[in-house]
């Protein structure tokens, strides 16, 4: 919906309603909603604030009223919307224009109280600070909203890393296109699988949500080359993560809260619940906390280590290290919902894998650990 209105009634003449498609009765948004429902997918919508064709653009009050009317139609006509996406889009040669973001957010929350609102400043999900699909190596879901404003280029680094002292829970979303640009061009091709996997590890694998743009072509469909690349991408992710080598291993930890019968043992990280069951070390253990996976028979062969925190109780881990048979293989800072270490040395073999929590905000709560093999990873 960036340039051509897709069937909304509260639109100017620059709309599919004025086109020959379906004799002016087509509704792209409704067709999208119907298609997603058929496949059990939630709906997310983006309404660009930069309308290059409406005469009201540049008149603050008149244009913002017009924009609110479009927004109201989107959120009352098409059923439940899971996410609404806002940005401060404005061309360098556009008329001077102020967007009334607070009014927009208030209307959204009034019409659909459970929706996730995305923008540079939240209030539900924050932008990661770039359009490359990469989060910071350190990435907190917490941040201070009072330090954020939409369209402020000086805060991109802050958006990228978050803030361990932040008072607002605002997870980051990484947006990137499968192609070079956001729109389809015949001269462009989709990104290679290796690039898409790199993006996945640097977004989902760094405690973020990945938003992958896939533009329709001039026929209104997704190009077959893009479809095939998406299938390859999905298949690759399934190949890597469908098997967890740690599941058949023995597991132990430095300590556990409440003793063996307390319900917080290390075995919880292998029970398949990535959110509400977890290993918690003892309050009395003030040393570095660790959890160790040990093979019972053959040595483990892997090149990816996955760690997840019980984020229902906050994000805590500040620094961690990974050892295989006593040898350091990886280290990092934050974990959050998911941290994926694709080992730089490539495939490793070993009988024991120890994850050492070097620093955390309070006791670390680890909900899941995985050891995986990525056949597409060939470090130089």
The span from the CA of 353 to the CA of 264, in Å, is 20
Strand partners, 309: 366
Could you give phi then psi for residue 253, rounded to 5 degrees? Answer: -145, 165
- For 225-277, the pLDDT digits (tens) are 999 999 999 999 999 999 999 999 999 999 999 988 899 999 999 999 888 99
Condensed to tens digits (0 to 9), the pLDDT of residues 188-229 reads 999 999 999 999 999 999 999 999 999 999 998 999 999 999
Contacts of 330 (CB under 8 A, 6+ apart): 305, 321, 322, 341, 343, 344
Please check whether the domain covering 16-241 is classified as CATH 3.40.190.10: no
Query: Which residue stretches of the chain have pLDDT < 50?
Result: 1-4
**DSSP per-residue letters across 295-347:** -SSSPEEESEEEEEE-GGG---EEEEEEEETTEEEEEES--TT-EEEE-TT--
- What pLDDT does residue 2 have? 35
Strand partners, 291: 253, 355
Q: What is the pLDDT of residue 8?
A: 60
The two structure tokens encoding residue 38: 């058929």
CA 187, CA 246: separation in Å to the nearest integer? 45
**332 strand-pairing partners:** 320
Rounded to two decimals, the pTM is: 0.94
Q: Which fold has domain 245-372?
A: Jelly Rolls (2.60.120)
Instruction: Provide CB contacts within 8 A for 130, sequence distance 6+.
Output: 156, 160
Look at residue 240 and give its three-state secondary structure. Answer: helix
The domain limits of the chain are: 16-241, 245-372
Q: What is the pLDDT of residue 4?
A: 41
Q: Give the pLDDT score at 220.
A: 87
């Amino acid at each position: 919906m960036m340039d051509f209105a897709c069937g909304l009634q509260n639109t100017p003449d620059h709309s599919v309603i004025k086109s020959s498609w379906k004799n002016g009765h087509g509704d792209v948004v409704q067709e999208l909603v119907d298609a997603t429902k058929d496949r059990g997918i939630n709906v997310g919508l983006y309404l660009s604030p930069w309308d290059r064709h409406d005469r009201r653009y540049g008149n603050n009050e008149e244009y913002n009223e017009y924009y609110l009317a479009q927004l109201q139609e989107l959120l009352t006509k098409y059923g439940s919307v899971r996410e609404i996406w806002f940005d401060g889009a404005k061309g360098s040669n556009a008329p001077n224009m102020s967007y009334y973001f607070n009014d927009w957010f208030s209307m959204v929350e009034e019409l659909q109280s459970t929706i996730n609102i995305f923008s540079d400043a939240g209030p539900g999900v924050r932008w990661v600070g770039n359009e490359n699909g990469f989060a910071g190596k350190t990435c907190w879901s917490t941040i201070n909203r009072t330090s954020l404003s939409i369209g402020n280029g000086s805060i991109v680094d802050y958006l990228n890393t978050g803030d361990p002292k932040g008072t607002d829970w605002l997870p980051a979303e990484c947006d990137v296109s499968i192609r070079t640009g956001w729109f389809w061009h015949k001269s462009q091709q989709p990104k290679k699988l290796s690039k898409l996997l790199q993006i996945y590890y640097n977004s989902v694998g760094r405690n973020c949500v990945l938003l992958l743009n896939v533009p329709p072509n001039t026929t209104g469909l997704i190009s077959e080359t893009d479809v095939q690349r998406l299938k390859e991408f999905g298949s690759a992710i399934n190949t890597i993560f469908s098997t967890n080598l740690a599941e058949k291993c023995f597991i132990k930890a430095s300590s556990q809260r409440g003793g063996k019968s307390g319900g917080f043992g290390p075995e919880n990280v292998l029970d398949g619940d990535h959110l509400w069951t977890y290993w918690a070390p003892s309050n009395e253990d003030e040393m570095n906390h660790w959890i160790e996976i040990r093979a019972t028979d053959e040595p483990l062969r892997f090149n990816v280590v996955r760690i997840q925190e019980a984020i229902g109780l906050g994000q805590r881990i500040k620094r961690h290290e990974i050892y295989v048979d006593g040898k350091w293989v990886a280290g990092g800072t934050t974990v959050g919902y998911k941290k994926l270490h694709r080992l730089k040395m490539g495939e490793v073999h070993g009988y024991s894998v120890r994850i050492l929590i070097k620093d955390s905000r309070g006791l670390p709560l680890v909900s899941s650990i995985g050891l995986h093999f990525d056949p597409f990873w060939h470090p130089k």
